[in-house]
């Protein structure tokens, strides 16, 4: 059976580098960092002093105040980004098509802010004072649930939870839903609001976060002096459509999604497998799924967390898959500017990858100052670059050994 073609027709973003597509893309191309001193929790309590926070977010611009109060911050982000994406796609959802339009939105840790505040209430005042909305606000699938409710999308409704691979897994899984004919369109991506007391404590305790107090240089993927990732928050949601469905309604098309690879390391709860072998297999599967060869890939939006092991092993994985072509690839980590949005990272980075293809522009990896002999590829240091991009990959690698890659191609009829 011939695979149905799937294209990207709408993008919506809430991020540390901007809460509109235009602002976020301009800032990323300009190498503008969204990382600032930590304010959402007391920085004196943690060795990590910086974060990629969203300080200008007002959910009431998009929804009723009463409804917003029934949502954790991560769900608010998702609903707002979904509304943006559907508006950008100029997609009308009504009773004529609602059952063929689905939602697949993931979150790595869900409503941690709600959990912490309600647990404090429970300890101080007992169970009767815990909000009846506690569980529906906290559970990770509620972003998908609320997006479906707000948009009236009645098709496939699901949530992926694969740590930092969540956003990319969600998009890949939604792509397959359309490809096999179970939906005509999907609203998909990831959302996360992890800048909370316990999240910060947990990531500091396992020494994953950068302790560099300088917001400008704390996130430095592939640089020899990298010392951990910077926590970020936000959401990235995309509208995927079956090609004929999109063409019939005259939709604009950013790029075509052509491949998806998902693998498990079966190695360690947090550390990537030696040599990045799981990530290498995910990339190879995505390329094979696209019916392409490694030499056709021009750009990779890397997972590139700015942690010592991740960047080294991802580099090794790229070399394993691409061989001599690895040196010709343009690679960048937009986490150098956005920080690491955990379950939302793949959604935001898929948006940047689609825009890179559409505009033939490679975003930079900022703060790349001291080359690491073990990270010796072209990471597009410090300045964006004009380059024709026919095909690109976006990588995400998560705790638990989850690896996900999506392959995007410049759209041609």
Dist. CA 333–CA 205, nearest whole Å: 25
Give the residue from 176, 171, 173, 186 showing the smallest Cα distance to 347: 171
How far lies 188's CA from each of 125, 333, 397, in Å? 39, 21, 18
Let me know: does 339 contact 34? Beta carbons within 8 Å.
yes
| Active-site residue identified among 164, 245, 375, 402 | 164
Catalytic residue among 159, 204, 245, 303: 303
Residue 303 among the catalytic residues: yes
**Those residues with Cβ within 8 angstroms of residue 187's Cβ, 6 or more apart along the chain or in another chain:** 82, 85, 86, 101, 102, 103, 104, 105, 147, 151, 153, 237, 238, 239
Please confirm, yes or no, whether 340 is among the known catalytic residues: yes
Of 159, 245, 340, 402, the active-site residue reads 340
Max CA distance (Å), the chain: 64
Is residue 390 flagged as an active site residue? no
**Contact yes or no for 371/312 (Cβ under 8 A):** no
The CA distance from 365 to 383, in Å, is 7
Catalytic site positions: 164, 303, 340
């Amino acid at each position: 059976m011939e695979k149905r073609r799937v294209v990207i027709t709408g993008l919506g973003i809430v991020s540390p580098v901007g809460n509109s597509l235009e602002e976020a893309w301009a800032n990323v191309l300009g190498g503008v960092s969204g990382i600032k001193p930590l304010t959402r929790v007391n920085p004196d309590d943690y060795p990590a002093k910086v974060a990629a926070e969203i300080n200008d977010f007002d959910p009431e611009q998009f929804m009723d105040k009463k409804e917003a109060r029934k949502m954790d911050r991560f769900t608010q982000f998702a609903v707002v980004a979904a509304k943006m994406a559907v508006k950008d796609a100029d997609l009308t959802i009504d009773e004529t098509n609602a059952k063929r339009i689905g939602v697949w939105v993931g979150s790595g840790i869900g409503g941690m802010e709600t959990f912490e505040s309600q647990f404090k209430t429970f300890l101080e005042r007992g169970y009767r004072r815990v909000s009846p909305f506690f569980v529906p606000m906290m559970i990770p699938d509620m972003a998908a649930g609320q997006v479906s409710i707000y948009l009236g999308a009645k098709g496939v409704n699901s949530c992926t939870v694969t740590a930092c691979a969540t956003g990319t897994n969600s998009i890949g899984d939604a792509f397959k839903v359309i490809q096999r004919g179970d939906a005509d369109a999907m609203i998909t991506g990831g959302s996360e609001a992890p800048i909370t007391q316990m999240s910060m404590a947990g990531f500091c305790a396992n020494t994953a976060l950068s302790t560099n107090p300088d917001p400008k240089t704390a996130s430095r993927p592939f640089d020899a002096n990298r010392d951990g990732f910077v926590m970020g928050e936000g959401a990235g949601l995309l509208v995927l459509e079956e090609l004929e469905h999109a063409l019939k309604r005259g939709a604009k098309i950013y790029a075509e999604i052509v491949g998806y690879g998902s693998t498990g390391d079966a190695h360690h709860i947090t550390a990537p497998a030696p040599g990045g072998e799981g990530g290498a297999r995910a990339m190879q599967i995505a390329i094979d799924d696209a019916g392409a060869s490694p030499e056709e890939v021009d750009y990779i939006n890397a997972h590139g967390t700015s942690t010592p092991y991740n960047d080294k092993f991802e580099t090794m994985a790229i070399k394993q898959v691409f061989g001599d072509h690895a040196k010709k690839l343009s690679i960048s980590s937009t986490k150098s500017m956005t920080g690491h949005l955990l379950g939302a990272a793949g959604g935001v980075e898929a948006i940047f990858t689609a825009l890179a293809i559409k505009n033939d522009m490679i975003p930079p990896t900022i703060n790349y100052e001291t080359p690491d002999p073990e990270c010796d590829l072209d990471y597009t240091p410090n300045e964006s670059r004009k380059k024709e991009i026919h095909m690109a990959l976006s990588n995400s690698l998560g705790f638990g050994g989850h690896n996900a890659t999506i392959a995007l191609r410049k759209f041609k009829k």
